[in-house]
């Protein structure tokens, strides 16, 4: 029997019913074989031994440590870029940049590129800590994880840039990123609470949250060893959401420069 343990209560109840059925049928089959062999003895009991896939020892750190990677990337590549751009507004250097021959897309790339590098370095560092310090297995490809992390950074950087076009101070940028974007994304992404246990309306809302797809990527690569043949829907969703958000942010940023 294979049971989906995402909803633990339903899985335990279902396995309990199926286990009793199998124990009864197994006892009948064993008794019939004993009777045919002429043995006058009662059949023994069939014992079912469960085995948990991907995390056989039920170590909670295997589940939560990869989630730390997503949280750190959101902190570094969403909050910090928004504050960096807003800081240029506060100290007045953004106006000095506007009068230069620098184009808007070049300014955007120049502002966001360092955080891409920092995000990738953080990903490699946390992956190494998860593997060698916490013992979380990395069963998939590190190269695939890096490429899919770049798609996730497309989303976080886009949200950070979008926030920077809507606020006037660094404090507003930080509060907006944390309380309006980061906290809801963490709670609705499946990093902490299973999406299947949420109300139906919230389940539909999670399809718009990029962390939902990145959390599936992290646990798929780390624990299940999934490849692009399994994770391509998540990659496609990250491209669609990230491309839309980054395009909107770039248009608003260019308009503010004009």
**Contact between residue 177 and residue 159 where contact means Cβ atoms under 8 Å apart:** yes
Domain definitions of the chain by residue range: 1-50, 60-257
Summarize the confidence of residues 28-38 as an average pLDDT: 75
Summarize the confidence of residues 216-233 as an average pLDDT: 90
Write the CB contacts of 127 (distance below 8 Å, at least 6 apart in sequence). Answer: 69, 138, 142, 145
Structure pTM?
0.80
- Going by pLDDT thresholds of 50, 70 and 90, the confidence category of residue 234 is very high
- Going by pLDDT thresholds of 50, 70 and 90, the confidence category of residue 80 is confident
**Contact between residue 234 and residue 92 where contact means Cβ atoms under 8 Å apart:** no
Angstrom distance (rounded) from CA 32 to CA 19: 20
C-beta contacts of 5-14 below 8 A and 24+ residues apart: 5/52, 6/194, 6/196, 7/194, 7/196, 7/197
Mean of per-residue pLDDT scores for the chain = 84
Angstrom distance (rounded) from CA 78 to CA 83: 9
Question: Does residue 252 surpass a pLDDT of 60?
Answer: yes
Q: How many Å is the maximal CA-CA distance in the chain?
A: 100
The model's pLDDT over 99-143, given as tens digits with 9 standing for 90+, comes to 777 777 777 888 888 999 999 999 999 999 988 988 888 888 999
Question: Does residue 255 surpass a pLDDT of 60?
Answer: no
Summarize the confidence of residues 36-64 as an average pLDDT: 74
């Amino acid at each position: 029997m294979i049971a989906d343990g995402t909803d633990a209560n339903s899985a335990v109840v279902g396995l309990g019913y199926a286990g009793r059925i199998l124990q009864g049928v197994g006892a009948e089959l064993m008794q019939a074989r004993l009777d045919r062999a002429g043995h006058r003895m009662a059949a023994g009991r069939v014992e079912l031994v469960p085995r948990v896939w991907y995390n056989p020892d039920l170590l909670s750190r295997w589940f939560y440590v990869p989630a730390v990677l997503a949280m750190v990337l959101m902190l570094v590549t969403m909050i910090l870029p928004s504050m960096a751009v807003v800081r240029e507004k506060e100290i007045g250097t953004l106006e000095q940049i506007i009068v230069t021959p620098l184009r808007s897309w070049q300014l955007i790339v120049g502002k966001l590129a360092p955080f891409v590098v920092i995000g990738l370095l953080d990903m490699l560092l946390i992956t190494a800590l998860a593997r060698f310090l916490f013992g979380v297995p990395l069963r998939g490809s590190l190269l695939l994880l890096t490429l899919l992390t770049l798609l996730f950074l497309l989303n976080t950087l886009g949200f950070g840039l979008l926030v920077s076009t809507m606020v006037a101070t660094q404090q507003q940028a930080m509060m907006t990123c944390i309380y309006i974007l980061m906290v809801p994304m963490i709670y609705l992404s499946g990093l902490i609470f299973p999406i299947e246990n949420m109300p139906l309306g919230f389940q539909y809302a999670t399809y718009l949250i990029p962390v939902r797809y990145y959390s599936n990527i992290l646990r798929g690569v780390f624990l299940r060893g999934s490849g692009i043949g399994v994770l391509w829907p998540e990659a496609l969703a990250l491209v669609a959401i990230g491309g839309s958000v980054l395009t909107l942010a770039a248009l608003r940023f260019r308009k503010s420069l004009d």
